[in-house]
A and B are shown apart, each in its own frame.
Chain A
């Protein structure tokens, strides 16, 4: 198909305001009478509030409201921004008489200034009955462990007495039989750390009552519609009385797929009648927002001597922290998106997700896959080694391919039965070939070991993801034509910084036959734009983009009808691009002519909308290659070169697609090597700052090579699937496998710290 706008490296439609400092983000607004909101965080990991007295705080000059659990409705809910009915337990309250982690909400204040708000927090008198806490997920289910959710009114908890938020067991075939048929079976345990999203813009919400006394919430969110629905329920006001606006967002990465501050900002605005801003400081963002779920994974895999994988089994213990946001869904992905990577006839996935008195885990780019692929790709590598096969060849022989049906996904949907996944496009083998060439696989695998303390090795990992949640994620879009031949696109989708507005505008422009400058877009505003579930599950390009394409096709038909009358030709005979429509004889009219004809002569607003969902979630594929250098004296691992080859279907904007890969790689490198939010023995954060929590900076980054191995996905608009999540899955296992190639040790814990490497080297007698 010839395309003019899709597939082009066009500038971001919102780019100029971002490079010139235009008022774009939630906080870039001055509201008269704005109050500053602040949350009093729990100092204890687990405690009951025996007495709370806010009278001194309320008496402080400049304080307009102090809210405790006594002042707000008690409505069990989940903060997970998921489609209704949310599969996450309803175990969270606006404010509660019990606190379940260090950082949990105790009270909230609204005051004239930040300084007064902070002072007021110190004046709230709280007497706690400190309860025994469980911080270690391996202790959470033990008999006698403190019960974290003993409140009677929460729902959807699998087994509250044993702190089990969720439990999953799925099997296809019969793994026991499968393992008996294997010549070689390997079983290993893996542990993964607590990574924090670290968006440069921390969570922030500003709420006020507008001139019609409706609650306006301007907020940094990935899920404006879910936030509106949840706030309505929690604050007990109708959905129609809430208007959620999502401006530009300073990064989300899943952390903003949560209704995290909107409810409390709304409650304070309702209590004071004044605009209230509430934002996390960087320190608060680390432990009061969300993290990736830490997991302990036991991966068992068996193969025949000829290199055929027969059975795979993954058993997971994960902690969701104090609340069950995204608990079963993230962990479900650890099985459903990971195991089907290889065509074993027998697969089994079992998982317990437990509560602990630790910061709350939630959605995070990769959504359970980085943990699962770390385990699986490490074991696959070990199997290949034991079978004396090249790890690349072993993967080629066993990996999923075009036409395959992934039956495990059918059993593991979004917290319920899902739909079978058919592989209709597969660039995996292209990724393997091109990635191997880019890293110099053949030569480097054969290279003789270096002398001296620095050893080099190369490793590989194959991963996949989804593109939207099959049968659940849906989106809508609306288009209308303006007098100058441009179009106004209203999309419910939430651009959180990844460039979704640009991609959607490109799809609209392509379909309508206009240049990108003829599309004006507003997105993620619950009054102005039609519904969209939001930016998560790698859904925006395929699902929201699908809605935009459908809407644009309908509008295009209306455009052609008017043009046909003007040109005295049949609509189906017309062709057009670049803002004009031509009849067979060469006669043509511009979009402006068509718009003026429609509006002022035909009295017709050219406009239409469409909704879209898919019953399948086409996987994007990614193969990551890492070359590392291990310092055998210090244990330091330096990544020399990282190659990420990704099949996103069609890249609607290749430059933006590459940017998604590179950002995911950087975050994946941190997950692999340096990033971990640490807690002390009382559950308090130990490194809640950018100084102590180590992300990769410009100087730390290795050479990164990005390869887009494009395919044509039948279910996606112009063949697009997704790209934002899948590349984060590969760096950790590829690096771990490269370390093995370099020095012969297997590190099975993330992040891979120098001390762990050194200890393993010494244990191995190196």
Chain B
């Protein structure tokens, strides 16, 4: 099959990958070892495969890898810096917002995009955002609490 080469930034590292034109970003990221990108439905419904592309949350199962050429991708693996967790990751742990953890990376990345844009969201806005991330374990109570708690740290950081 015809291959093509894409150059992109993943978690602040430059990458050059050989892909097939039809490869989905989800599959390529997992193939390259970014296991934090989860396969939940492959139809853009559950949000488990959420990554940030140029800062925007994207269902990586709905994006061709070829479309990521020249862009900046952030996966959950790129969120902690020098061993220090992102405030969202800390808050998810402290608030018991992680159960099985399968939806967690997508939820945290989606929440990060929200907090970067609006570090003072209302509970309603947090819920509106997390509606794109299905979770079958938590009932969303603690994830919403965690995002609201992390928002404080995002505000302080500004």
Contacts and interface: CB of A to CB of B under 8 A. Distances in A.
A655 B96 contact: yes
B128 interface: yes
Given A699-B127, A699-B131, A16 B93 contact: yes
Given A497-B137, A662-B141, A18 B40 contact: no
B102 A663 contact: no
A19 B93 contact: yes
Contacts of A662: 138-142
A663 B34 contact: no
B96 A698 contact: no
Interface string B24-45: 0000001001111111111101
A20 B134 contact: no
A114 to B, nearest CB: 9
B79 interface: yes
The interface centre, meaning the residue of A281, A664, A695, A701 with most chain B CB atoms within 10 A of its CB, is: A701
A198 interface: yes
Given A200-B100, A663-B138, A704-B139, A698 B35 contact: no
B95 A655 contact: yes
A647 interface: no
A409 B126 CA distance: 45
A30 B34 CA distance: 11
Interface residues of B, number: 55
Contacts of B43: 282, 689-691
B45 A248 contact: no
B131 A697 contact: yes
B33 A21 contact: no
Nearest to B147: A698
A253 interface: yes
Interface residues of A, number: 57
Nearest to A655: B96
A22 interface: yes
B96 A659 contact: yes
The listed residue with most B CB atoms (<10 A of its CB), out of A19, A249, A281, is A19
B48 to A, nearest CB: 6
Nearest to A661: B139
A20 B89 contact: yes
Nearest to B78: A21
Given A251-B137, A690-B46, A663 B99 contact: yes
Interface-central residue, B77, B92, B105, B139, by most chain A CB under 10 Å: B139
A159 interface: no
B36 A21 contact: yes
A11 B93 contact: yes
A528 to B, nearest CB: 21
Nearest to A690: B45
A496 B100 contact: yes
B77 A21 contact: yes
B138 A659 contact: yes
B10 interface: no
B96 A697 contact: no
Contacts of B141: 658-659, 662, 701, 704, 706
A19 B100 contact: no
A27 B139 contact: no
B127 A698 contact: yes
12 contacts: A19-B93, A20-B76, A21-B75, A27-B35, A198-B134, A251-B100, A282-B46, A658-B96, A659-B141, A666-B140, A691-B43, A698-B130
Interface of A: 9, 11-12, 14-16, 18-25, 27-28, 30, 197-202, 248-251, 253, 281-282, 496-499, 655-656, 658-659, 661-667, 689-691, 695-701, 704, 706
